């Protein structure tokens, strides 16, 4: 049975659309995330007998659908598993229509956060979509492929939304994968199918790979999409041995990679495990550079261990400089903890990439200015400011929808014509243009401070390894950031 896993083309004439970013877009920084969830599902099915599997990331390769067909050659897929996202969903459905037109007997299955949240609504967009997988899809896709290959009934495959005559039916929830050590190394799938130099993260050294060491997040943040739509709010970690084994694999099989990104929603939930992973890296004598997503409750002792094990950078969502806003979004972090986190990170020798978000519940002009002042006070190595992006399946989306703050029901409007974020939230206090203008101004004010520019210049001189990343990120920022305020739009 032939199976195609496809990250479908979208705006490839403009740039690289990062569909697996937590907020999919063609980003200001040029960041392009690996399609790791699709890669995991690819690796799972490749372990089974009787399947010929291809995996194409059309966005990263910047190829059109006709070029996808050229790559396939004589390979005619019996099953296509296609990644989706909220801002690209209408495009993704059109791609499904075109594939079905070319291969009428092909079974087309859509996966991802958007279709997990709105499975029936998505099926209604086109009769050419045969199924939607709701939630975590590695094992659902495997069972779907096995059942199709044997001609069995799909109603017994948990996790699917299907057509039954004129009705749409859901086959029932599938349990989350408990033993993540059973999954293949995602980097082995990258090596076989992807061009690793296509991917980029502005805060990481290039070239880099992204791995997952655990799924789910115990945080209750109302805006965060993956825990609420795919992986749940219980943290399911891989064993420390499995994680370090994959790092060894990367060193051996991908020696040109300069940094490994640990892209768990929050890698540092279990601090004892983080220390165990760090100690194993040190014990095995692995010389590997890595970064990780963290929370601001990370302690200094663990930071020191991480640094000794090769950690270069911690990325952390601070979100706001207002404690009230943090409370409103159930962040579970206090401003005093963020201050301590930044102080300890600098003391431990770790760089900090801080993420700030505006437009959350209760946001005002005053709280946004508090956030900018707080960011300057923290003076971290890197920052990002962005307006809240509302995705179906999240509490923030439900709040905005209930209040009537979402400006359009057209999901294509979640992006601008050039593929960048286009916030669709407007509240009585702040329009979407207010949010965008603030973020652009905040980036300018933060990065063009004389203090920051002198520090980065010295860093380039004293640490040449950072120079390429700094220059490339700066050029991307200059290219993408707006220097004049957006004019108010009506929809």
The residue behind tokens 């300890």 is: 344
In DSSP notation, 101-135 reads HHSTT-EEEEESHHHHHSHHHHHTT-TT--EEE-S
Question: Which tokens is 154 given?
Answer: 């799909």
Same domain, residue pair 151 and 11: yes
How much is the CA Rg of the chain, to the nearest whole Å?
22
Last residue of a domain, one of 124, 154, 170: 170
The reported pLDDT for the residue numbered 474 is: 63
How far apart (Å, rounded) are the C-alpha atoms in residues 432 and 488? 8
Q: Say yes or no: 160 and 205 in one domain.
A: no
Confirm whether 351 is domain-assigned. Answer: yes
Q: Does one domain contain both 322 and 458?
A: yes
- Tell me if 486 is assigned to some domain: no
Does the residue 321 lie in any domain? yes
* Cα–Cα distance measured from residue 284 to residue 299, given in angstroms and rounded to the nearest whole number: 24
Is there a single domain that holds both residue 417 and residue 299? yes
Q: Do the strands 52-57 and 79-83 form a parallel or antiparallel pair, or are they unpaired? A: unpaired
Specify whether 209 is located in the same domain as 158: no
DSSP lists the bridge partners of residue 214 as 237
For CA atoms 433, 435, 441, 443, the dihedral sign is negative
CA quadruple 354, 407, 420, 227: dihedral sign: positive
pLDDT at 164: 87
- The answer on 214 and 120 residing in a single domain is no
Give the angle subtended at the CA of 418 by the CAs of 415 and 421, to the nearest 5°: 30
Rounded to whole angstroms, the Cα distance separating 155 from 170 reads 8
Q: How many CB atoms lie within 10 A of CB 299?
A: 15
- Please check whether residues 217 and 104 belong to one and the same domain: no
Task: Answer yes or no: is 490 within a domain.
Answer: no
- Give the DSSP letter of residue 359: S
- Does one domain contain both 222 and 334? yes
How far is Cα 85 from Cα 92, in angstroms, rounded to an integer?
8
**Domain assignment of residue 192, yes or no:** no
Range of the domain at 396: 201-480
For residue 470, being part of any structural domain is answered with yes
**Chosen domain end from 122, 153, 170:** 170
We report the CATH number of the domain holding residue 319 as 3.20.20.70
> Do residues 206 and 325 share a domain?
yes
Out of 170, 187, 219, a domain closes at: 170
What's the number of CA atoms in the CB half-sphere (13 Å) around residue 369? 3
Q: pLDDT truncated to tens, each residue of the chain (491 aa)?
A: 999 999 999 999 999 999 999 999 998 788 999 999 999 999 999 999 999 999 999 999 999 999 999 999 999 999 999 999 999 999 999 999 999 999 999 999 999 999 999 999 999 999 999 999 999 999 999 999 999 999 999 999 999 999 988 899 999 999 999 999 999 999 999 999 999 999 999 899 999 999 999 999 999 999 999 999 999 999 999 999 999 999 999 999 999 999 999 999 999 999 999 999 999 999 999 999 999 999 999 999 999 999 999 999 999 999 999 999 999 999 999 999 999 999 999 999 999 999 999 999 999 999 999 999 999 999 999 999 999 999 999 999 999 999 999 999 999 999 999 999 899 999 999 999 999 999 999 999 999 998 888 887 777 776 777 766 666 666 666 655 665 665 544 33
255 lies in the same domain as 143: no
Q: How high is the pLDDT of residue 460? A: 74
Full-model pTM? 0.94
Domain tally for the chain? 2
Residues 18 and 100 in one domain: yes
CATH number for the domain spanning 39: value is: 3.40.50.2300
Q: Is residue 186 part of a domain?
A: no
Tokens standing for residue 7 = 């990250």
Residue with tokens 């130099």: 197
* Interacting residues of 227 by C-beta distance below 8 A, sequence separation 6+: 216, 217, 219, 221, 233, 265
Alpha helices in 220-349, H assignment, sequence order: 225-226, 240-253, 271-283, 300-308, 323-328, 335-348
Instruction: Please report where in the chains the tokens 């040190």 appear, as a residue.
Output: 282
Question: What DSSP designation does 489 have?
Answer: -
How buried is residue 2: exposed, middle or buried, by Cβ count under 10 Å (0-12/13-18/19+)?
middle
My answer on whether 215 and 90 are in the same domain is no
Among 294, 264, 252, 305, smallest CA distance to 180 is for: 264
Strand pairing report for 382-387 and 351-358: parallel
Compute φ and ψ for 353, nearest 5 degrees.
-105, 115
348-374 as b/e: b if 16+ CB within 10 A: bebbbbbbbbbbbbebeeebbebbbeb
The answer to whether the beta carbons of residues 171 and 152 sit under 8 Å apart is: no
In a domain, 9, yes or no: yes
């Amino acid at each position: 049975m032939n199976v195609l896993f496809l990250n479908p083309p979208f705006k490839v004439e403009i740039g690289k659309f990062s569909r697996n970013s937590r907020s999919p877009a063609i980003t200001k920084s040029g960041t392009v995330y690996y399609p790791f969830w699709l890669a995991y599902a690819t690796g799972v099915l490749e372990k089974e007998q009787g399947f010929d599997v291809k995996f194409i990331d059309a966005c990263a390769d910047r190829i059109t659908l006709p070029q996808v067909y050229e790559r396939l050659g004589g390979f005619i897929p019996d099953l296509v598993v296609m990644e989706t996202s909220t801002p690209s969903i209408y495009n993704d459905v059109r791609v499904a229509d075109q594939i079905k037109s070319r291969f009428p007997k092909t079974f087309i299955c859509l996966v991802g956060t958007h279709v997990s949240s709105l499975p029936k609504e998505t099926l209604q967009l086109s009769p050419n979509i045969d199924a939607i997988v709701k939630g975590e899809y590695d094992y659902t896709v495997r069972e779907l492929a096995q059942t199709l290959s044997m001609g069995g009934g799909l109603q017994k495959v948990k996790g699917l939304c299907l057509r039954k005559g004129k009705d749409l039916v859901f086959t029932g929830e599938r349990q989350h994968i408990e033993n993540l050590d059973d999954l293949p190394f995602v980097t082995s799938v990258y090596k076989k199918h992807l061009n690793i130099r296509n991917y980029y993260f502005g805060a990481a050294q290039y070239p880099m790979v992204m791995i997952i060491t655990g799924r789910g997040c115990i945080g209750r943040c109302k805006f965060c999409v993956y825990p609420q739509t795919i992986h749940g709010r219980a943290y399911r970690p891989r064993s420390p041995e499995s994680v370090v084994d994959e790092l060894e694999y990367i060193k051996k099989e991908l020696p040109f990679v300069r940094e490994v990104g640990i892209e768990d929603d929050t890698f540092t939930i279990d601090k004892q495990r983080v220390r165990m992973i760090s100690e194993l890296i040190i014990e095995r004598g692995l010389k590997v550079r890595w970064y990780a997503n963290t929370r601001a409750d990370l302690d200094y002792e663990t930071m020191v261990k991480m640094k000794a094990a090769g950690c270069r950078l911690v990325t952390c969502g601070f979100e706001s400089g207002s404690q009230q806003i943090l409370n409103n979004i159930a962040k579970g972090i206090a401003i005093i903890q963020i201050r301590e986190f930044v102080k300890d990170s600098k003391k431990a020798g770790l760089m900090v990439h801080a993420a700030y978000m505006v437009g959350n519940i209760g946001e005002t002009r005053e709280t946004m200015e508090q956030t900018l002042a707080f960011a300057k006070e923290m003076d971290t190595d890197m920052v990002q400011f962005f307006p809240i992006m509302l995705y179906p399946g999240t509490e923030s989306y439900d709040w905005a929808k209930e209040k009537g703050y979402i400006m359009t029901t057209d999901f294509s409007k979640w992006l601008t014509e050039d593929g960048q974020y286009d916030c669709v939230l407007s509240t009585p206090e702040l329009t979407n243009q207010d949010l965008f203008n603030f973020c652009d101004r905040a980036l300018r004010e933060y990065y063009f401070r004389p203090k920051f520019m002198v520090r980065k210049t010295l860093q380039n001189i004293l640490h040449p390894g950072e120079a390429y990343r700094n220059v490339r990120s700066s050029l991307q920022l200059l290219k993408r950031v707006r220097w004049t305020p957006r004019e108010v739009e009506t929809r």
